[in-house]
Chain A
Amino acid sequence: MKKASALILSLSVLLASCSGGDEEVGSLDEGAASVDEDNKTLTIALGTDVVTFDIHDHNNTSTEAVHDNMFNYLFKRDENNNIQPELVETFEQVDELTVEMTLKEGVTFHNGDPLTSEDVKFTLERVATDDTLQEYPNYNQISEVEIIDDLTFRVITHDPEPSLLHRLSRLGSSMLPKTYIEAEGWDYFLANPIGTGAYQFEEWVRDSQIVLTPYADYYEGAVEEWDEVVFRVIPENSTRVSEILTGGVDIAVNVPPADWDRVNGNAGTAMETETSNRTLMLILRATEGFPTSDVRVRQALNLAIDNGAITESALRGGGVPTKTRIAPGNFGAEESLYDTYDYDVEEAKQLMEDAGYPDGFEMTLHSPRGRYLQDAEVAELVGGMLQAINVTVNVEFMEWSNFVEMRQAGTNKDAYLIGLGNSMFDGAYSVDWYRSNRFEGETDYKNEEIDSLLEASAVNMDEAERAEQIQEIQRIADEDMPHIMLHQETVNYGVNDRIDFTPAMDEMIYVPSITKN
């Protein structure tokens, strides 16, 4: 009997939540987001577990979001994305290949050992020389770290390296404790990681939770706001949303657009969003034999896609249409190409006719599903829009590992949908996707002008000139259209009213900046 009535109740709940009307959902008696006000535990719901505590051997932003609280970098981006010294007190460019730096005094690891030049050398030379590490390609520009004294050292690169400080302010450049790791071994470190950060490691139950506690001797003073920080792993979207609605967690990452109204309408919770550094785009095949090898076809496809309609309907406003993947806040952003888009179906039709496709053609668009915000919906909308210029799009959805393999094997067809960020916050790493010899056999795009600009900018130590070179590449790409830019994503958090949390563009969840309301 009880079971039957529970069933009927559940059914009616489902009907109410399916009907989609805001009022009906609001009328449900949810809204028990009541957390004990004095509770000094901060709970954050992640969608995926951290991958590892080997900071050199992963490429995962949500893992870095946890690590960020335990480790420090030599430099750090401030809220305006300008690079500021963090563990470094002073630094000076000695010559084109050498930067001399001095560490702050009084920085210690969680076991009490002081941070010294030895640790810097150990950390950076490991990732710069061990080619089995995932972060190796981002640090092998460093040839060595030369120790001057306990706190002073020189970072020396193989070639002039304009992005060095960008590299030293991100994932992969966290400072590791040399003595501790050499005495205890890597396996022990991975199970009991220590850093110099504001929070220290307490416990990691895989696929369940990571617990951190404040480090009493933190060089900037212990953080007293929270006695404990718990990162819980909740892969299922609806479960994560339910947790934020009931006050089970203080922050829930990646709340899907369909649930934004519920979180905002619920007593005690609200959505907080910020544009992320990730841009969604279509990568086109420029290989001979594909219609997309003709620049006029690429331009036509771009003109037939209404980026604004995509961000309005599929993303419910959660996205910024763009013509470049380098957003403001990144070095070398061409701001005139941001927050704008081209849409002109008539001109697109004309270009199609000029290119010899007055009756259109059929093309394949590969898309992952569930990897990016509303990715499947975006792919379908794009397919629908291209119908207006007689292009029939077969959208092929792929599970992520198959998608990766498709790209690796170069079996991509006319286009694929992908979302790309830039953890360096340096535009050079985004425009590198236009370099011709990087994607031979995959997209086969080649533009000699871009190639020579890339080559020149890679070793250009003149900041202003390098920025101009990167901007010029974006302007050329906007004409030549090897990739069709769609929009910059937002990161979307459900947040309990008891805390004050400002999301960051780099998707870090930096606990020392989160306070009680």
Chain B
Amino acid sequence: MSAQLEASVLGLTPRTDVGRGSRRTRGMTRAAWLFIAPFGIFYILFMIWPVIYMIITSFFNTSLVRKGFGSFAGVANYHEMLTRPDFWSALWHTIQFTIYTTPPLVILAFVFAVLANRVQHGQWFFRLAFFVPFILPSAAIALIWTFIFTPSTGLWNSFQALLGDQNPLPVLGTPSIAMVGIAITTLWWTIGFNFVLYLAGLQDIPRELYEAAAVDGATQWQQIRAITIPLLSRTTTLVLLLQIIASMKIFDQVYLMTGGGPGISTQVLLGLITGTAFTDNRIGAASAASVLLFIVIVIITVARQVITMVQERRAARND
């Protein structure tokens, strides 16, 4: 009885009265807000506010070691970043990494998922084999691959020497291929995630479709092209978007494996931002660089979204 009273005070008592329908909805809305509140507060405090703070500080000469925002800088921080050669090179390296990793991570994940899905016995082993690297922390991954890429004596260089290359290039020590080394590391590390998404998508495709196609005499390849790929297009859209964003935010592997070197040939934007903020103590300038990266990611995401929409509309028209 007392519980009911308390509940009614909170507006939680279920009501069946049709005439008070609007009140009921209001009550439910309030309950919904109550449930969202804990998360909402953290979201505002630790997501929205820092973003606003970042945008504000990007217009000031904010220093890590001085209280307050510091002197007003106008667009000087943006001007500095946009005229700094190393900002452009870091942006290019970020995009370069995205280009190196996104296509293989999407295509290979798809291929492996299709193959694993066809395995009759012991499928668990393939799922495990592809997914296990993903659960390792980036520090462990960096150690493993730095070891493999050790100049002269590492596994990769030893293998090259075995094939007859007496002075193999150190992968992480050569500006032109260091990023490739990091991309391969990332590929091995993260392919499991996309693989699992594709596998889940594959298992949602009804078997009857393939059976019907087989009865009609479609080859394996035709089945993949006409059934698998189109029915997985939503998964592909998701995988592609998540992958581009993840690749644009590359940081750990570079920080741990090359520290941005040799020279600045693998320095990426997040590395530049971290250095500017926490080594140079220049929060304002780092915020400006962060805002610019944010804008780049938004542009790429929106562009990709627009392309998909156009494609879908064209496909619908063709139907």
Indicate whether A and B interact.
Answer: no
What is the interface of chain B, defined by CB distance below 8 A to chain A? none
